[in-house]
Amino acid sequence: MSMQEYIDQAEQNLLHTYNRYQVILDRGEGVHLYDVNGKEYLDFVSGIAVFALGYGNREYNDALKAQIDKLIHTSNYYYNMPAIHAAKKLTEVSGMDRVFFTNSGAESIEGAIKAARKYAFLKDGSTDHEIIAMEHSFHGRTMGALSVTGNPKYREAFEPMIGHIRFAKMNDFESVSAQVTDKTCAIILETVQGEGGIYPAEEAFLKKIRALCDEKDILLILDEIQCGMGRTGTMFAWQRYGVKPDIMTTAKALGCGVPVGAFLMTEKVAQNSLVAGDHGTTYGGNPLACAAICKVLELFEKQNILANVNRVGAYLYDRLEEVAKEYDCIKAHRGVGLMQGLVFEQPVGDIIKRAMDLGLILINAGANIIRFVPSLVITEEDVDQMISILKEAIGK
């Protein structure tokens, strides 16, 4: 069968919730992907900020193979060694105190919301507490995550949401402050908005939010699902500002391809929120997923990933600045580390398609933004190749 015939078969059986690019990816090596016909693509998407270590990392693959041969799943009624090691490593690099492993980022958001509401419930026994989220945010597709996602188009067909959610403007402290009531139990935001357009939180804004939360005993939830795990040059983006959350979510690059997420919290929140019976998961924290986490964190240190992100991220920023100045159709360039975006005057779908035809995989963030979230092991040479293809795809 041809690639198109396989695609036609997929469309007969898969639920059509994605407008997929017309390619079947077959294998990966380093920062390149190959389709079933053998065509090579330079990958600047990395599975939407997931494959931080690149494809075919031998140590990572061997660790997973060894765990598969040993033990894949037990359920959370029992301890397992990979989960114990992963929890220790993750709390150490994050500076948080307690961790709950999930299967995805959206599940991590669900857990964070439940923890915040339980924390508030234990204070006064009421169940009408409110959460403040940001406009243009994206936290996931489950009902709780959708409820705090600040884009009405994702929510409107699935109303009513969980309720008692207020929205404020990112980087506008007065907007946030105006939404605070005596019922506010949490403020949630992405430290760097991803799907909403690559908007980093401003340091002054985050620090004011932290001070407000401290003053009123409101929990600060930082969503690091996309911007965390080294993508901005620190292990988690909030560490650039020194603004520690009460609850943090992570996923994507945490397992580098194995579906795994987590929400973490301070000891204060842990001792005053979820207890046995409040939350659970069948697959979360299983030995295979946690073996992936352990190896990812080990390789981040061994390969000095953060130093590479800071060096190549700065180079990518300079090169994208050049592109932004060269083309009148580009209105803005923003981002940090290896999470950057170019804002165009028009939808970018055609540019992304032309780039793919030329052997470069890109992704959008909204209709008119090209998002650059490559593997964290890319080099300056990879950036140069990407820029060359991007310019050809943009055209004159």
What confidence score (pLDDT) does residue 46 get? 98
Cβ–Cβ under 8 Å, residues 338 and 374 = yes
Q: Give domain 3-53+304-394's CATH number out of 3.30.1020.10, 3.90.320.10, 1.10.3720.10, 3.90.1150.10.
A: 3.90.1150.10
What confidence score (pLDDT) does residue 66 get? 98
Enumerate the H helices of the chain as residue ranges: 3-13, 46-49, 58-70, 81-94, 105-124, 143-147, 152-155, 173-179, 203-216, 267-270, 287-302, 305-326, 349-357, 380-394
152-to-19, 135, 158 alpha-carbon distances in Å:
20, 9, 10
DSSP, res 66: H
Q: Indicate if the pLDDT at residue 228 is higher than 90.
A: yes
Domain boundaries, the chain: 3-53+304-394, 59-302
Where residue 200 falls among pLDDT bands split at 50, 70, 90?
A: very high
DSSP, res 241: T
One-letter-per-residue 3-state SS of 280-340: CCCCCCCHHHHHHHHHHHHHHHHCCHHHHHHHHHHHHHHHHHHHHHHCCCEEEEEEECCEE
Tens digit of each residue's pLDDT (9 = 90 or more) over 52-111: 999 999 999 999 999 999 999 999 999 999 999 999 999 999 999 999 999 999 999 999
Tens digit of each residue's pLDDT (9 = 90 or more) over 246-291: 999 999 999 999 999 999 999 999 999 999 999 999 999 999 999 9
Cis peptide before 347 (omega within 30 of 0): no
Tens digit of each residue's pLDDT (9 = 90 or more) over 28-43: 999 999 999 999 999 9
What confidence score (pLDDT) does residue 359 get? 98
3-state secondary structure of 155: helix
Q: Indicate if the pLDDT at residue 117 is higher than 80.
A: yes
What confidence score (pLDDT) does residue 396 get? 57
**How are beta strands 247-250 and 261-265 bridged, if at all?**
antiparallel
Cβ–Cβ under 8 Å, residues 116 and 219 = yes
Q: Indicate if the pLDDT at residue 296 is higher than 60.
A: yes
Reading the block at residue 199, the tokens are: 């908007």
Segment 236-254 mean pLDDT: 97
CA–CA separation, 260 vs 63, rounded Å?
Answer: 16
Strand partners, 41: 33
Fold: same for 3-53+304-394 and 59-302: no
What confidence score (pLDDT) does residue 174 get? 98
Q: Indicate if the pLDDT at residue 201 is higher than 80.
A: yes
Average pLDDT, the chain: 97
What confidence score (pLDDT) does residue 24 get? 95
Cβ–Cβ under 8 Å, residues 342 and 323 = yes
Instruction: State the architecture of 59-302 in CATH terms.
Output: 3-Layer(aba) Sandwich (3.40)
DSSP, res 374: -
Segment 319-346 mean pLDDT: 97
Nearest to 94 by CA among 259, 230, 194, 256: 230
Reading the block at residue 102, the tokens are: 């999930």
What confidence score (pLDDT) does residue 237 get? 98
